[in-house]
Amino acid sequence: MLEKILLLFCLSSALAENLCRPDASNGYKVRLSIKRALGDEAYVWNQDEMFLFRATLAFAMRNHLSGQDFQVSNILVCDETPRVSFWFIVTSPLDATRPVGKEDVEEAIRKSRSRINSAFLLTDQTLEFIGIIPTLAAPVSPDTPPWLIVFGVVMGSVGAGIIVLLVYPVVHKRLKKDEEEEELEEEEGEEETRRVKTMENGAAGDGAHNLSFTDDERFTQM
């Protein structure tokens, strides 16, 4: 009995290892560029990080195929290189010998891509799944194009400047003309009052009115 269980165990692990190999039909290659992404703060890739990767992928599979309880042991990894690249294959939780289809794996990874990325502090370009093209972020397009705002400010000030420069001299001239007219009116008003004075004084209203004599007395002093 014990031998049978042992044989089955050895067989299944051997089968599992046979399932995961480079260029497997249901597997994907993963490539990480940790130093490129993080520079000095790069962490060392070791088995613990690999465990996290397998757990994250199991999470992604659970997220996509709800109901199936994927475990870490369902994610098989092989062909690790110093580059930090490896192949992985996902087996079904119900039957460890049967791999999950490529399309399902791709869908699962696409759905949870940002969660997988952030688990490793990487981006779409530094955590690559060879064969799965990242969906491109939609470009930010504001409602009013910013250039129209700047254009509005510049043209508004230029237009206001033109109007001010054109209208100001006309207004200035008109104000000056009004002032001059007022002064002229005041002078004429003074003339009239003077004329009235002389008329009151006597018959000086006859003939041509000569302003130069209005201030003098009518009769010279002796």
Interacting residues with other proteins (CB under 8 A)? 31, 33-36, 81-85, 135-136, 138-139, 146-151, 154-155, 158-159, 161-162, 165-166
Who's near 153: CB < 8 A, 6+ residues apart?
none
User: Whole-number minimum distance, CB 155 to other proteins, in Å?
Assistant: 5
Specify the residue, 78 or 204, whose C-beta has the smaller distance to other proteins.
Answer: 78
User: Whole-number minimum distance, CB 81 to other proteins, in Å?
Assistant: 4
Closest of 178, 196, 198, 174 to residue 186, by C-alpha: 178
Specify the residue, 23 or 215, whose C-beta has the smaller distance to other proteins.
Answer: 23
Specify the residue, 27 or 93, whose C-beta has the smaller distance to other proteins.
Answer: 27
User: Whole-number minimum distance, CB 48 to other proteins, in Å?
Assistant: 18
User: Whole-number minimum distance, CB 97 to other proteins, in Å?
Assistant: 29
User: Whole-number minimum distance, CB 122 to other proteins, in Å?
Assistant: 12
Q: In what order do the strands lie in the sheet with 28-32?
A: 75-78, 85-90, 28-32, 127-130
Q: For the chain, give percent helix, strand, coil, nearest 5.
A: 55, 10, 35
For residues 212 and 216, what is the distance between their CA atoms, to the nearest angstrom?
8
Specify the residue, 36 or 197, whose C-beta has the smaller distance to other proteins.
Answer: 36
At 141, give phi and psi (nearest 5°).
Answer: -120, 110
Buried b (16+ CB within 10 A) or exposed e, 131-140: ebebeeeeee
Specify the residue, 84 or 96, whose C-beta has the smaller distance to other proteins.
Answer: 84
User: Whole-number minimum distance, CB 107 to other proteins, in Å?
Assistant: 16
The DSSP letter of residue 91 is B
Specify the residue, 55 or 84, whose C-beta has the smaller distance to other proteins.
Answer: 84
For residues 112 and 108, what is the distance between their CA atoms, to the nearest angstrom?
6
